[in-house]
Structure 1
Amino acid sequence: MIRINKNKRKFFFVTFLFLFMISGCGSSNDEAASSSDPEAIRESQISELENSDLIGNVDAYAAIQGVIAEGPAPAAAKVFIIENDESVEEGAGEKYVYSPLYLDFPAELQAKTDAEMNVLVKLRSYYMQTATYSNDGKAYTRYVQITILDRAAGTIIHQETLIGSAPFSIGEKESSGYGYVADYQVLDTILAFFGYAEK
């Protein structure tokens, strides 16, 4: 009887160890999976950004101006990107927010704090009417102005405007059509300035 009890205890102990090891491996596998999951990585980046002082200073960054003095990016550039908030109604004044393109920047270029940020990229997007359709509908083209500022020097070291595609065709009952500038075009243009060739 005693031998049976000992065997039972040994069996339960071994089973417990086995289950513990499996659960431990499972959690590490879950962590590894989440660390390679693009959505999880982006959520982590957004959380880190929202906890930094960069977000709180967006209004101050929007007010930064500079004298145009085209030149290279400073050594060891640490960049933050803001863009005008297009949801703000016309006539209410421009409002800026951080640009999601910042999250697509190489990690070595991303500023993590206000003190670290030495290059500011300001994006200003807008539409202009560029044509009229046969049904008198209006055709609009998108423009994205890119302004890159050397924060320490107080100068605009690069500025250019990307012009969108030709407005798309519209149906007879539609009143307007739009041409666009893709986000990847804006990102590639900015990265090219910092010496990152298009892939």
Structure 2
Amino acid sequence: MTSSPRSPARQRLLDAADRLFYAEGVHTVGIDRVIGEAGVAKRSLFYNFSGKDALIGAYLAVWDQRRRDRIARHQEGLDDPVEKLLAVFDSLQEAVLTPGYNGCAFANANAEALPGSVEAEALRTFRGWLATMFLALTTEAGFTDPHDVADRLRLLYDGAVANSQLDKHPDAVRLAKELALMILDTSPREHATGQNPPEPASV
């Protein structure tokens, strides 16, 4: 995200926080550095945010919406819930190939965060949304145990995120998607919600 000279102070602070917090960490970067990078007066911070915690919360909210929008873009035009599930991995592949990728903003922010902190709340909010989305799609796809399938897919997703960052593994997401496809192909299914059950085989 880039800011123009005429950007409101709030947006300039968010843009600076986005660059610095993601690259170096929310606990490493001090608030004075964000203010200096944004090129605003110190009073602008407290006019727009109550303090650093509020700025961190706003920064993570931007990342939350960014991820949801990217996943929605990859799922756009797809009707099959299984294809939508696989599209989540395509969305992640796009993210890890983006220049400057530095892992999961939520996990990074939570590395030294305390329980109940703004960072913990942001992580819980996004992961709750992700879990709900996986479960809704596995249920719609008609899997006999949609909770189990959703849990397996989320584990693969988390592993791909961690592997891409910690080991700089360029193929981590591709491998995770291949394993996800195996799970989706082999897990027992009844029939997709809203569709007729499959016709019995002729004898």
* TM bin (shorter chain): under 0.3
Q: Choose between structure 1 and 2: higher strand proportion.
A: 1
Q: Taking structure 2 as the reference length, what is the TM-score of the superposition?
A: 0.25
Q: Taking structure 1 as the reference length, what is the TM-score of the superposition?
A: 0.25
Q: Choose between structure 1 and 2: higher helix proportion.
A: 2
